A = this chain, B = another copy of it.
């Protein structure tokens, strides 16, 4: 019998009525002849409520205690769903992260999964039980509760699917799949039937918030076939799997935009070896992720270095950089906050040449100036003036034939 892991996010279990709808869907899947394991998040709003309680108690809550607190949310939903299913005559049983054997490292509030034992789940499946598993949580070596960070329930589902060698892991969420672009910006955007792990990873890291990045990575590494589907309407959703011919036929799978970056430019940097390390060392130590770096060709002995950082880290980055500027005797620092990054993603780029030049052409035709460029095997990103972001996305979406392509 085929085994499916289903994961329902917070908006899908946000009330008793919604939990009953999840029970309907689980019952249907069961009656269609599948073995299944269900992974749940906390009710939407619950995690925020608990975080607020903690912040009322103390300004900087201890992280171990935070995990003890936050891990209660999923226990409530799994108990309620298991009750609902048992009330309908299905043999369901709830399991915490510990009971499933989700072993993590010791870093509270953002633990990494080290191992998934899943003995009790295997046993339950053998007995014909439907296991209902608390997402987002595990235990460390000391047997203390840990949590996997926001969106961690996706990771629980994927890790369980890998451990159980499930035939599919379906992520039920409030959107019905992965789109060629954000439909609120591009009304003609299409839902993708299939997308590769790599594309999905790039899309996740570029701000498409359908799946947590770490869970996509995990799925790719363990070859878990993922499906993203809406828990509110019927539909086949988007399949995330290994690259295939279909995916390669299209040069570009999707267009995304990201407003969460800011640009720093250090002007008049002495052009000598070791300068980059002096600049970026302290930034990296402060755990600030630098996305793009451009070093202008030097004029004489001086050069300019531009780079982007997450907008939330701008303040911290500035104070670090200003110190460095003095040390290395550069001229000054300039900040541009009103930037945005527009990106094309697609495994087809590997075999289709000319995607980059076509992208530059389209942007130039719209009068959009490109400030920075970065490329990878399956992605091209340009930093542009923020005010042109929607225009750029729409123009690229049309130019690369995503509007009219058949699904």
Q: A residues within 8 Å of B by Cβ?
A: 16, 19-20, 50, 53-54, 56-62, 64-66, 68-69, 71-72, 75-76, 78-80, 82-84, 86-87, 93-94, 96, 98-99, 143-145
Number of copies: 2
* The one of B66, B87, B94, B145 that contacts A58, using a Cβ cutoff of 8 Å: B87
CA distance A86 to B76 in the complex (A): 27
Set of chain B residues within 8 Å of A16, measured between Cβ atoms: 53, 56-57
**Chain B residue with the shortest CB-CB distance to A19:** B57
- A65–B50 contact, CB under 8 A? no
Set of chain B residues within 8 Å of A69, measured between Cβ atoms: 75-76, 79-80, 83
Set of chain B residues within 8 Å of A87, measured between Cβ atoms: 57-62
Measured CB to CB, the closest approach of chain B to A25, in angstroms, equals 15
A to B CB contacts below 8 Å, 26 in the list: A16-B53, A19-B57, A50-B76, A53-B76, A53-B80, A54-B80, A57-B84, A58-B83, A58-B84, A58-B86, A58-B87, A60-B87, A61-B86, A62-B82, A64-B94, A65-B79, A65-B82, A65-B83, A65-B93, A66-B83, A68-B94, A69-B76, A69-B79, A69-B80, A72-B76, A98-B98
- A83–B99 contact, CB under 8 A? no
Measured CB to CB, the closest approach of chain B to A102, in angstroms, equals 14
Set of chain B residues within 8 Å of A79, measured between Cβ atoms: 54, 65-66, 68-69
- A57–B72 contact, CB under 8 A? no
Measured CB to CB, the closest approach of chain B to A142, in angstroms, equals 9
Knowing A20-B57, A60-B87, A94-B65, the reply to whether A75 touches B76 (Cβ < 8 A) is no
Set of chain B residues within 8 Å of A72, measured between Cβ atoms: 72, 75-76
**Chain B residue with the shortest CB-CB distance to A74:** B72
